[in-house]
Chains A and B, each alone.
Chain A
Amino acid sequence: MIYKETGQFKSTYESDHSIFPLIQDKIAFNILMLVAFLVVPFFIDSYWEKAILIPFLIYSMAAIGLNILTGYCGQVSLGTGGFMAVGAFATYKIMTFFPELNIMIIVLLSGVITAFVGILFGLPSLRIKGFYLAVATLASQFFIIWLFNKVPWFYNYSDTGQITVSERTMFGVAVTGANAPPYATYLFCLILVVVLGFAAKNMIRSKIGRSWMAIRDMDIAAEIIGVPPLKTKLSAFAISSFYIGIAGSLYFAVYLGALEVTESFDIMAISFPVLFMIIIGGLGSMLGSFLGAAFIVLLPIFLKNVMVDLIGLSAVTAKHFEITIWGLLMVVFLILEPHGLARLWSIAKEKLRKWPFPY
């Protein structure tokens, strides 16, 4: 009923191929965008910025990146933390080498550098698959972290291995550094996520995306029908790493501002959580990347705030409950819907379509 498709006729190829074929989806998405761009910036404060929205956007970006590689191309990767570290350190090095360069260009360049590193570490994927590949990418994770720890050039010989961002502006407003107003950092991340999100969605719907999915579904068959595995797999690694690199760049420059490689890009801090995001959100789904990021990043904060501020539990009790509830929910979701939150959403849509007369 709510999702009534009846009467929505597509008379051109263009409208038939649009990202949101249903008018209801289109309206909802446009409203969401209007709110995100025109309402939120006026009300955002630094708590919403630093604790909720920025981490959500950055992890969404990383989840999109990993989803391209794992969800669409079927190459399991545990190297997300390492690739994000490459993005972060690329940003830092470019920033200190070229103080005049615009921050947007720095972020994009960091993505490009990470893409090359991704290709390099993607090479083993031509020979090994599945769990074995996961272990190979795990090696890249440990190698990269070790490298950034071992070679002082990467952190400009600072005593503690900490890298610190300096202030950069866009249109005269600071977007990095401690003096950046919340709306600026938020909009900066939002623009990148929206633009690159659309780019990813369109890539997936075009030739390159279809070749990824062909490789994912059965690589031998794909090769026989003419999908080159080398080019396809490496392009997936490159593009995925580009997204993850940008996420790492934002994580360092906009979100944390100062970080230390072992703690911030630890396998337990990034690689596993991002993998959980796409599994819980939905492998091979754009919406899933966002839902998964929300689940992993926002749910603990939400649980904590409810338990500490509304119920009045002590911080430590709340933490124990939070870990338990969060874990339980994860298991429950995976049992109820192994295909993730995105699938849950599409089931809900199906139900809404038939409501109130299911047959």
Chain B
Amino acid sequence: MGLKKMMVGLLGSVIAIGGFLEVATADLKFPMLVYRTGAYAPNGIPNADGFVDYYKMINARDGGIGGEKIVFPECETGYKTQVGVECYEKHKENAMVFQPMSTGITYQLIPKASADGVTVYSTGYGRTSAKNGKVFKWIFNAPATYWDGASIAVRHILKQNMGNIKGKKIALVYHNSAYGKEPIRTLQVLAKKHGYKLMLLPVDHPGQEQKATWLKIRKQRPNYVLMWGWGVMNQVAIKQAASIKFPMENFIGIWWSGSENDVMPAGAGANGYKALTFNAPGTDYQVHKDIKKYVHDKGQASGDGSHFGTVLYNRGLFQAMVQVEAARVAQKIHGTSKITPAMYRDGMENVDLNAKRMEELGFKNFAPPFKNTCENHGGSGLAAVQQWDAKAKKWNMITEYMYGDSEVVDKLIAEDSTKYAKEQKIAMRCN
């Protein structure tokens, strides 16, 4: 038995060292769940780089938040739920906020984080009904939800058809997971309201196999195709759409299906593809100048620095900016720079990113202003449509930021969150 016991003991003790080596410091901890490997890496890398560069810039330019340095340990999830759980348990001690970057992991963390008192910020993804702050105290999904996204896409289609889409056929190509299924309910309700026909086309993880899906589209000729995709699925779908000569301007992706990495592989075929967005691409903003000066010029860029200014990189900047701003608000509310996770949540709930504040932060005209309140954790719900110009290799905004169909969405959110509150026996807040 000696050898076995010894091996078990050894293994155990080394795992223990590994698990508990993390040093507790007074710094503000923003753990990062990232995926720079696997089928979702093409989207995960630019986003993670945006986060890291922004944190580095804040540390270098301002010396942290209110004098407290930001620490941001990375944990590689590979977009896998189980690994996400491991990462969360490892880093939750004293963590200010988790940004899971995966709807599956977000669903996983909602009950856990609520019990542990840790803020989860799922920027424009995750559980839509978490917008209802009365039920989801610790969960935030500003500035827009999937249901906003779905109704904005339909609104865009309505506008193009002079408000009448009766009898039109709209197909939804979606990642067959909690993420992709999110908009279905809203699209069904909207189908009833506007009289269009909805076609549902699930694509299984990781999404490389879509021949059958697009064959169906070729046969049944829907007028519009919406897409809820992520990772390689986006690239494959856009390539397939191009190969069956589907009119690209009638193909609209959610904000997670509209980055450079998604359209580039299809080359000229992707020209005219549309996607929603709640942040602008490009490098003409003050924040980019600061990052250039304090991070990139010192050779400290995250990764190879090649994603600077891309859609997902910029979204990473935006997400990181909101998280940092929440810490500042919390410091102001509680009058101390050494905030606890509970204080941080108060900060997140009182984030008010109006146009003026955005400008101060170097994000002038970068994203529509939004504000969190006790009842509303989902921000403004504003998003715009952008279109890909394959020749210039550039995304162009083609509409103003617009609201979703709040009449439909708000009702669904209230319904779903009340159901959850009942199931989990949660008492309503904000009365």
Contact = CB atoms under 8 A, between A and B. Distances in A.
Contacts of A269: 80, 82
B18 A263 contact: no
B423 A164 contact: yes
Nearest to A52: B15
Nearest to A322: B76
Interface in B1-59: 1-5, 11, 14-15, 17-19, 21-22, 34, 36-37
Contacts of B89: 46-47, 49-51
B243 interface: no
A309 B424 CA distance: 37
Interface string A242-268: 000000000000001111101110100
B75 interface: yes
B208 interface: no
A48 B22 CA distance: 15
Interface string B140-159: 00000000000000000000
A89 B92 CA distance: 29
Interface in A139-180: 149, 159-162, 164, 166-167, 177-179
Contacts of A138: none
Contacts of A162: 107, 178
B350 to A, nearest CB: 25
Contacts of B2: 2, 352
Contacts, number: 142
Interface string A173-200: 0000111000000000000000000000
Nearest to A149: B176
Contact of A164 (B111, B176, B182, B425): B111
A330 interface: no
B163 to A, nearest CB: 27
Interface of B: 1-5, 11, 14-15, 17-19, 21-22, 34, 36-37, 73-76, 78, 80-82, 85-86, 89-90, 92, 104, 107-108, 110-112, 114-116, 127, 176-178, 181-182, 184-185, 202, 204-205, 416, 420, 423-425
A104 interface: no
B15 A298 contact: yes
A263 B205 contact: yes
23 contacts: A46-B89, A46-B116, A49-B89, A51-B19, A51-B85, A55-B82, A159-B185, A160-B107, A160-B127, A160-B182, A164-B423, A269-B80, A298-B11, A301-B15, A301-B18, A302-B18, A309-B21, A309-B22, A310-B17, A310-B21, A316-B36, A319-B37, A319-B76
Interface string A301-323: 11011101110001110111001
A305 B108 contact: no
Nearest to A3: B1
A348 interface: yes
A24 B34 CA distance: 47
Contacts of A34: none
Contacts of A52: 15, 19
Contacts of B3: 348, 352
Among B18, B34, B80, B425, chain A packs the most CB atoms within 10 A around the CB of B18
Nearest to B45: A316
Contact of A47 (B90, B111, B420): B90
A160 B14 contact: no
Contact of A260 (B14, B17, B75, B107): B107
Contacts of B176: 149, 262
Contact of A301 (B86, B110, B204): B86
Contacts of B177: 260, 262-263
Contacts of B82: 55, 256, 269
Contact of A179 (B4, B81, B115): B115
A132 B89 CA distance: 42
A27 interface: yes
Contacts of B78: 319
The 3 closest A-B pairs by CB, nearest first: A305-B18, A28-B1, A178-B115
Given A263-B178, A320-B37, 12 more contacts: A2-B2, A149-B202, A159-B416, A160-B178, A164-B420, A177-B111, A260-B104, A269-B80, A301-B15, A306-B18, A310-B18, A319-B37
